[in-house]
Amino acid sequence: MHTITLNKIATQHVKTFFGWVYQNEILPLKTPIPDGALVALYAIDGTFLAQGYYNSRSQMCVRVLSYDLRPIDSDFFRTRIATALAKRKALAKATNAYRLIHSEADFLPGLMVDVYDKVLAIQINTLGMESYRTLIIEALVALLAPQGIIDKSDAKVRAKEGLQTQNGVVYGEVTQDITIHEHGISFAVNLHEGQKTGFYLDQRYNRHTVGGYIEAHMEVLDIFCNAGGFGLYCLAQGAKVDFVDLSAHALEQVALNITRNGFDTNRATITKADAFTYLTQAKTASMRYDCVVLDPPPFAKSKRASFGAIKGYKFLFSAGLELAKDNGIVALFSCSHHVGLDTLLSIAKEASATANVPLEILQTLHADADHPHILNIPNTAYLSGIVVRKIALD
């Protein structure tokens, strides 16, 4: 096995179970190492630290697979996947769809696996993990006996790793119409199209939580509604919901999901529009809602992009606050590690001062349990949310 010696900073990071090593944290290589190769990591004093795979193309040149010196073989992957499966047993009470493997958070960096009833969707996004593709699929088939497996890997990410991408069914059969269930609500999923691995499973708990604040007489605005997740939970409570998204495909899914659940279509409006334009026009029209849900796509995929992204979040929250009725609710989410909970709370506090209205924090939210947050790997805490009430003073 190839070996790499780490500097003191990286040594301390790996000792505390941080899963990445950066290019500037390794000592000069004694011999060239092929990209994708398995490597053992050592401290300057010769102490073994961990093993992982190497890629000189990536800023994160090593991703840790194990903190023990052990074979990375079929048994390794079966054990890791079986452990992840056992951790998610409790979710079976609420859903038949969940994330089984969440990359570094399940100590399988570069791999994501989602379960959709009897079908699996996988992403293999790194060169090192790609070399274990056959072992991974064999382990998934042995442990879960799926009807089919579809590859939904991220082409842009793989290109940076020096990989080509040709997604599609890699095992068995995957139908184009799959029905998943969350807390009694049904969603249609087409894994041959749609977002990433198919559906935003990480918001499951948050959808259920927001829905718990809704009553039959209420009016709700679901901005960036995607397939209608938050709004459908509100419809289930008897509310009226305005669904807004720029994607025609997403809105088709909303209509399908409303029908599939048997909800009254007279209580739902579906609008194809840019969220910022819609909010601006809604403010001008003095529209008001009992609940406004703001769940945008990631505005900040890097720390550098976070400064511009915060401006977007400020506009969204301020607009949502203006559109909320007295004692109404506003829910704001960020799916970027670089715009976390503290930032969202700061944005809310600033908007509160500008609007001269006090806000009650009802809940702070994060990804559901199938998207674990590993304390030692801060980037695994990527989804944050706040639910606030616009207090009307006498």
- Residue positions annotated with a catalytic role: 335
Element (H, E) at 84: helix 74-87
Mode of pairing for the β-strands spanning 324-334 and 384-390: antiparallel
Q: How many beta carbons lie within 10 A of that of residue 363, not counting itself?
A: 14
> Which pair of tokens denotes residue 245?
């998204």
Q: What are phi and psi of 89, to 5 degrees?
A: -60, -40
Q: Distance (Å, rounded) from C-alpha 349 to C-alpha 59?
A: 36
Tracing tokens 């190492």 back to the chain, one arrives at 33
Q: Kindly provide the residue ranges of all beta strands, DSSP E only, lying in the chain, ordered along the sequence.
A: 2-5, 20-22, 38-42, 48-54, 60-66, 97-102, 111-116, 119-124, 148-151, 168-172, 178-182, 185-189, 219-223, 240-245, 268-272, 289-294, 324-334, 359-366, 384-390
**Strand order through the sheet with 384-390:** 268-272, 240-245, 219-223, 289-294, 324-334, 384-390, 359-366
